[in-house]
Amino acid sequence: MIREFSPLCFKTLAAVAIGCALLLAPTFPANAGSSPAAANEMQPDAKHDIEIVDITGRKVTLSHPASRVVLGDARHIMELAMLLDDPVAHIAGWRQDKSLDPARYRLFAEKFPAIDDIATVGAGNRQLSVENVIALQPDVVILSLLDAENPATEVQLQQLSEASIPVIFVDFFSHPIENTEPSMAILGQLFAAEQKATELIEFYNAHLDVIRDRIAQANPERPRVFIQVHATPQRCCASVGSGVFHDFIQAAGGYNLGQDNVPGIMGNIGLENLIALDPDFFLATGGVHLRDRGGLVIGAGVSQDETDRSFAQLLSAPGIAELRAVKSGQVLGIWHLFNDSPMHIALIEELAKRFHPRLFADLDPAATLHDMQARFSPIASDGVWWSDAPAKVE
């Protein structure tokens, strides 16, 4: 629950909260920032002030690398896991608005049982409990660009500032192609894990540059692409106008039809309008969160059989089944959670192969995803990350 305070009341509350937090400090779980694992990952020369310029251009100064953070988006543990041997040891609290899927959470819990002790500091539509954050006494709070651009967050940011708790913004969602590299560099600097961040950035850019260079040199005709996000047969069709999957489609050499029809990042296009658009490709995103809604089930921990059954149901829906792209098999089911992770580079490769098969015949997106998990993740999840239409639908 979010509470708003006048400055005078807030200063009093902050003082009380900090005092209580200090008194309660010995009872914090071992993972909550001062653990040996977190301390050992700090660089030995990490005694000088660290000046970080976050994704919004704000300068933030820390006296030491962060060992105790609060995540605004819980699923950003995946980005920390790409840099740190024990990401859980560095997380004192997290907001459950954007949480991990159950399959990957179980894998983290098996390897890092202390994940169950991470405190919750908010849920719902980007709500953040400043009281809970202050009580945790983090070195820094990591929020997303969506928070920075949300007017409702201004009061919380002011309260955190008055409590002398710094905030750093990163972005893997709103402008993923533009901001993934600087955001990983920011996190690398924050945790004194610059070398690991550099390795990841080099891996990411090497794969992205192949696609960029070939698209630029060949300048192929871009297929017209429609993407239904959070796809269910009953509700057609949420799509994207900018950011996230729009950026992936454009980077892969496609033309996102949503950019002409959806203002902002996400909006709806009616079925009649979709039929009139007559896309060359029909893409659909889904996940386990759609299992109870009859939507496309795909992603970590999901079997190919379940994906096929749910995808067939989606593609058989009235109107969708009549699309030229569906009849010709130019469809692809996609794991929705590519939308907030550098792992989206594998999806961009897969889309590039679909849109321009001759130009990108040599790419192996599955191998890219495997390499990325092997080199930059403490967990390796099985699942279905993208999928063709089931044979009976084609």
Domains of the chain with CATH codes: 50-191 (3.40.50.1980), 223-388 (3.40.50.1980)
Residue 383 bridge partners (DSSP): 300
CA dist list (Å): 51 to 48, 58, 166, 167, 219: 10, 10, 12, 13, 41
H-helix segments, 25-61: 36-40
User: What gap in Å lies between CA 128 and CA 94, rounded to an integer?
Assistant: 9
Residue with tokens 């309660």: 24
pLDDT for the residue numbered 3: 35
What is the C-alpha radius of gyration for the chain, rounded to an integer number of angstroms?
A: 22
**Which positions ≥6 away from 229 have C-beta within 8 Å?**
238, 239, 240, 245, 266, 284, 285, 336
User: d(Cα 138, Cα 64) in Å, to the nearest integer?
Assistant: 12
How far apart CA 28 and CA 123 sit, in angstroms, is 21
Is the CB of residue 285 less than 8 Å from the CB of residue 344? no
User: Which of 348, 355, 368, 279 has the alpha carbon at shortest distance from 320?
Assistant: 279
The position carrying tokens 């933030």 is 60
What is the per-residue pLDDT for 126? Answer: 67
| pTM, full prediction | 0.86
- Give CB contacts under 8 A, 24+ apart, made by 177-186: 177/208, 177/247, 177/248, 177/251, 178/247, 179/55, 179/145, 180/204, 180/342, 180/344, 181/205, 182/55, 183/55, 183/79, 184/79, 184/82, 184/83, 184/342, 186/52, 186/53, 186/54, 186/55
Cβ atoms of 146 and 174 within 8 Å: the answer is yes
Cα distance from N-terminal residue to C-terminal residue, the chain: 48
Q: Give the H or E element holding residue 92.
A: strand 91-94
347's CB contacts (< 8 A; 6+ apart) are 248, 334, 335, 338, 365, 385, 386
Parts of the chain with a pLDDT under 70? 1-47, 124-126, 392-394
Q: Which candidate, 188, 205, 206, places its Cα nearest to that of 197? A: 188
Task: For residue 209, give every residue at least 6 positions away whose Cβ sits within 8 Å of its Cβ, in sequence order, or none.
Answer: none
**Cβ 196 vs Cβ 252: under 8 Å:** no
Rounded Cα–Cα distance for residues 287 and 186 (Å): 29
Separation CA 263–CA 307 (nearest Å): 30
CA–CA dist 375, 165 (Å, integer): 33
Query: Is the previous residue joined to 9 through a cis bond, with omega within 30 degrees of 0?
Result: no
Query: How far apart are alpha carbons 234 and 230 in whole angstroms?
Result: 11
Burial 42-66 (b: 16+ CB within 10 A, else e): beeeeeeeeebebbeeeebebeebb
